[in-house]
Structure 1
């Protein structure tokens, strides 16, 4: 069993690779759209039933308007780069929910929610495009499925440790060490890499949609000004605000250059 488990993990990883269209890299993904999307759509519908959706307001209309532009820009990029039909199973939907939490998200398959608490930080449609581009990028790059796949591997590895160590006390110690090691050395860096990737992809998409990518760093400066005690970056699922601000500032010129390939030369 000790020899079989590493081989099993390797076989699973090799058999479950999918190409990220934005980076060209192979990514770990055990789950196809046909598995993920129905679950995501059902959870989304349940969330809307349990929360107050703000409809027929100017801010709600802005969320939908920005969302449509971001989705169209993503499709333009994918079609132009050899991925026609990549979004055919997506069912785009954009909603603003009454909640003071500073948050927004996009489920696999294009189901998007903005919380009213993030709107003052967005300030305008360009700020909303920063957030929308980032959240949509998570969905486009299959980050949700990748996190589920990584979690599956982590659980399989834990089973392997449990089987390999016979002594109960040693097994508990090994499992604790395994859990800490795989979280700090694997899952958290994995999550931070997804956030960084979504920042970069989102910047590109918002620029193609005609929004000014220079404003992304400004939004994160406003986010930083909200204060609050953040954990050290190595203990967090997200890069620090300072890291994000520096990255977004450095990447903005390249995002504009990419947008120019699509005839976009002015940004709002």
Structure 2
């Protein structure tokens, strides 16, 4: 009898897991949309407007916590470049907010809803406006293609799948260690590779934006070569949220050749 009860319990959990997986499949199918520009499907549970609302409070908090510089040597450079890149990407500069944060961080970002943040640390190593345009174009491309919304949706989908795995584990069929391994599988097999895809897409369209804005796209390659030379080491590409420098530079060169050929 004890064995029968265990079997029935296991079947019950398996049934729950199957229903959860089926529901996840329905949700995923309903949230997938084909993006003609990217040439692939995007999983999106949230719109750009919804992501903009989420980003708004983060932007407000960041401006309160991080010092904003008004130094002309930084602000003038950024203000020359940002409007050109935003227009080249199809946007209206009046609808974007751009701030320069005083920090040694070698970083820049753009948020849904038209927010660009760039740090003095990265500006200090940029040799010219074209290199600023390369990074800004990359970040604006992330916003244009709602990559943050896609990542949000991928994370939600992974959690749904893991819930089904946990249900099976509760029935005694899969160990806790195995469920944790499922988590690693979701991270390395789905989430991070997509992040690398996003980065390469942002590189591709970012370099097109900068060329459209009148900047020399070859400066994007020079900038990433400089960034690569400054690194002391990097994790293997399959465990990184960014493509390897070699992969990134090779794609940029290929894209620049297409731009120059008029493709």
Structure 2 residue matching 1:134: 3-state secondary structure: helix
Distance in 2 between the 1:169 and 1:57 partners? 64
TM-score by length of 1: 0.86
Task: From 158, 164, 168, give the equivalent of 1:164.
Answer: 168
Matched, 1:30 2:45: yes
Indicate the residue corresponding to 2:181 in structure 1: 177
Structure 1, unaligned runs of 5 or more? 76-86, 262-268
Indicate the residue corresponding to 1:251 in structure 2: 255
Indicate the residue corresponding to 2:210 in structure 1: 206
Contact 1:17 1:28 in 2 (8 A): yes
TM-score by length of 2: 0.88
Structure 2, unaligned runs of 5 or more? 1-15
Task: From 58, 61, 77, give the equivalent of 2:73.
Answer: 58
Q: How does 1:35-50 map to 2 (within 5 A)?
A: 35-50=50-65
Bigger drift between 92-101 and 16-25 goes to: 16-25
Structure 2 residue matching 1:122: 3-state secondary structure: coil
Structure with bigger gyration radius:
2
Indicate the residue corresponding to 1:192 in structure 2: 196
Matched, 1:118 2:122: yes
1:20 Cα deviation from its structure 2 partner: 3.2
Contact 1:126 1:212 in 2 (8 A): yes
Distance in 2 between the 1:37 and 1:12 partners? 22
Structure 2 residue matching 1:2: 3-state secondary structure: helix
Indicate the residue corresponding to 2:145 in structure 1: 141
TM-superposition CA deviations, 1:143-201 (whole Å, max 9, x none): 00000000001111111111122356934122111011111111111111110111001
Structure 1 residue matching 2:124: 3-state secondary structure: helix
Indicate the residue corresponding to 2:237 in structure 1: 233
1:67 Cα deviation from its structure 2 partner: 1.1
TM-superposition CA deviations, 1:174-230 (whole Å, max 9, x none): 211101111111111111111011100101111111111111111111001112210
Structure 2 residue matching 1:121: 3-state secondary structure: coil
How many pairs does the alignment contain? 247
